Amino acid sequence: MGRSKEYLAVRYDPGTSDRVDELRGYVGDVHMNGRLSAEDVSRSDVMRAVIRFGLEVFERRAAAHVAETQTGVTANR
């Protein structure tokens, strides 16, 4: 794409922004190594962490699905 950063826009379901805000302290402590307080963590910071985590989960599930499809054996989830 030629850009150093790519952008993604999403619409939240009702209540999602509150759930994202609740994770600000955790993201500042764990995913930013305590460098930022909850007040300094943006919703974008939280969403980046959620997307990275979600991608890891979905990639593992996709790999298991491919393995199941190729072998006919169901993996434990």
Q: How far lies 30's CA from each of 21, 24, 36, in Å? A: 15, 10, 10
Closest-CA residue to 49 (of 65, 18, 25, 14): 25
CA–centroid distance for 16 within its chain: 14
Over residues 30-52, the pLDDT tens digits come to 988 888 999 999 999 999 999 99
Neighbours of 27 (CB within 10 A): 21
| Residue ranges for the chain with pLDDT beneath 70 | 1-3, 73-77
Q: Is residue 43 within 8 Å of residue 20, measured between CB atoms?
A: yes
Threshold 0.85, pTM exceeds: no
> Per-domain residue ranges for the chain?
16-71
